[in-house]
Amino acid sequence: MLVGKVVGSVVATRKNERLIGAKFMIVEPMDNMAQKGRIIAVDNVGAGIGEIVLVAMGSAARIGCDMEVAPVDAAIVGIVDNSIGLMD
- Residue 10 pairs in a beta bridge with 24
Q: Tell me if 53 is assigned to some domain.
A: yes
Q: Tell me if 87 is assigned to some domain.
A: no
**Domain encompassing residue 57:** 2-79
Q: Tell me if 88 is assigned to some domain.
A: no
Q: Tell me if 9 is assigned to some domain.
A: yes
Give this prediction's pTM: 0.87
What confidence score (pLDDT) does residue 18 get?
Answer: 86
pLDDT band at 85 (very low <50, low <70, confident <90, very high): low
What confidence score (pLDDT) does residue 33 get?
Answer: 79
What CATH number is associated with residue 21?
2.40.50.220
Q: Tell me if 40 is assigned to some domain.
A: yes
Secondary structure of the chain in HEC code, one letter for each residue: CEEEEEEEEECCCCCCHHHCCCEEEEEEECCCCCCCCCEEEEECCCCCCCCEEEEEECHHHHHHCCCCCCCCCEEEEEECCCCCCCCC
Q: Tell me if 44 is assigned to some domain.
A: yes
Structurally, the chain folds into a number of domains equal to 1
Q: Convert the pLDDT of each residue in 17-61 to its tens digit.
A: 888 889 999 999 998 878 889 999 999 899 999 999 999 998 888
Angle at 30 between CA 25 and CA 76, to 5 degrees: 35
